[in-house]
Amino acid sequence: MPFPTRSVSRAVGLTALGAGVAAAAVALVRRHRDDVRLQRNVDLATLGVKVGSTYASTAARKVFASAERRVELDTERELRTAEAISERLGNMKGALMKLGQMASYVDEGLPEPLRQALAQLQSNAPPMSAELAAQVIREELGRGPDELFVEWDPQPLASASIGQVHRAVVVDPDTGLERAVAVKVQYPGVGDAIAADLRNADLLGAILRQGFGGLDPDEMVAEIKERITDELDYELEARNQTIFAEHYRGHPFIHVPEVLPSLSTRRVLTTELVTGHTWAEALTWDQRQRDMIGETLFRFVFRSLYGMHLFNGDPHPGNYLFHGDGRVTFFDFGLVKHFTDEEMATFVSMVRTAAYEHDVPAFRQILERAGMLRPGAPVPDPDVGEYFSQFYESVREDKPVTWSGEYSSRIVRHTFDRTSPISQYATVPRAFVFIQRINLGLYALLGELRASGNYRRMAEELWPFVQGPPSTQMAEAEQPWLRSLSATRPSPPAPVPRPAAPAPAS
């Protein structure tokens, strides 16, 4: 069946607020015409709306699905110089747009003006010319693509946020065999353009405040600025992807493409080429297949978080390819958050007290120590518990649940609702920016799948304080892989005894 318009808007949800940010920037500049920095950034934002683009990996990975170009690239739009890229694409795809992408998840949860801007951000950005892409490869790897690769497609599969992806065939230096690869080439000058935008932290904060009322975005902006800077370094992305690929090697339904380090640098990233089905195609599959996809996404996110203390910070359907029976390939590891042991201890204790033990006073104490709630705020414990524990609603009880778009949208509205009496005492500390991103992004995808299952039992398998038994056929299939991991890891802490069921309300 065709991909519904509403589904499309959610599938590109990470660009939705980008348009809203652009609109906010326009409004700000109209009041500050004499401010050069604001004018520069409104040019950026306006150009983003005018030219339009999907988020990088959405376009790139949709084409990856069949390894065939699905769009005819207009040569008139090619960008032939580094200066043109910096001006037309680097600025358009700078910090303002990325900040918006990272702050939005599902379109129904956004204010109406932001939703209306979605439709303007769905086309590919103009690619750089074949000559310029070859020049970057020559500068980074010492030889041109025709010398490095057995076959090289000079036309990109698609243009991306800070680079574009090409197909190629290379002789693997380890095996001597030919293999198909995807080569991501960064646009010249885009790093300088984004760095310039990131220096305008006051503007970024002002735009977020305009979009989300009373929200104090300082720590959120600081965290996002650091992560955006990370995305510019393909060597860092290669290291991140290698960590994930090695961790999940041999997993029955989670796959991360292998990196070819000898053909990867700070501005070029070469990985194995994977074919599969796109998110739009997977949404047309029967409910059993969609339930299995939902379970895989859930397990990937929380196995990575609890098992590796890592989160791939872009929970976006364009970063996945689907192969049936729950098998999913995960792409794009430029935005990875590494959590400290202390941060993880806080996250785990919050889940334990809120969702497992139902101990609201203890939960409140953790919130206050973590900086999420002002100590001594004049709000009753039950209200605090209700306000902060909505993220755990799907795993609080041992019963099957069906995710919905309405639920994920309600969570988004709740997260950014500054009218609640509790919100004046609450904030989002820096460490929690990406935890919120996990929840909002994953919940939106599960809602679009309308995935069903007993997610409480799945969560108990993943929670380090429970280590529950396998609860599904997919969990059973994971067991050999888990045993291979345990052979190389220290013994985990003993599970927490199962608490008594909460008494029914009188």
Does residue 314 carry a catalytic annotation? yes
Work out the widest C-alpha separation in the chain, in whole angstroms: 76
DSSP track, 285-297? S-HHHHHHHHHHH
- Label the pairing between strands 163-171 and 151-152: antiparallel
CB crowding 187-218: b at 16 or more within 10 Å, else e: bbbbbebbbbbbebeebbbbbbeebbeebebe
Tokens describing residue 446: 């599960």
Strand ranges of the sheet holding 320-322, from the earlier edge strand across to the other edge: 254-255, 328-330, 320-322
Question: Among 216, 314, 341, 383, which one carries the catalytic annotation?
Answer: 314
Question: Is residue 421 classed exposed, middle or buried when 0-12, 13-18 and 19+ CB atoms within 10 A define those classes?
Answer: exposed
Place of tokens 């065999």: 177
Cβ atoms 125, 93 nearer than 8 A: yes
The angle, 0 to 180 degrees and rounded to 10, between the axes of the packed helices 190-198 and 95-103 is 70
Question: Is residue 252 classed exposed, middle or buried when 0-12, 13-18 and 19+ CB atoms within 10 A define those classes?
Answer: middle
* Rounded CA separation 267/140 (Å): 7
Secondary structure letter of residue 450 according to DSSP: T
* Rounded CA separation 141/366 (Å): 50
Q: What's the distance, Cα to Cα, between the start and end of the chain in Å? A: 48
143, HSE (Cβ side, Cα atoms, 13 Å): 7
Alpha-carbon radius of gyration of the chain: 23
Cβ atoms 19, 118 nearer than 8 A: yes
Residue 422: CB atoms within 10 Å: 17
Question: E strand or H helix at 179, and its extent?
Answer: strand 178-186
* Rounded CA separation 140/7 (Å): 39
Question: Is residue 361 classed exposed, middle or buried when 0-12, 13-18 and 19+ CB atoms within 10 A define those classes?
Answer: exposed
Cβ atoms 214, 424 nearer than 8 A: yes
Residue closest to 61 by CA, chosen among 119, 11, 131? 11
The angle, 0 to 180 degrees and rounded to 10, between the axes of the packed helices 455-462 and 287-303 is 30
Question: Is residue 430 classed exposed, middle or buried when 0-12, 13-18 and 19+ CB atoms within 10 A define those classes?
Answer: middle
Could you give the residue numbers annotated as active site?
314
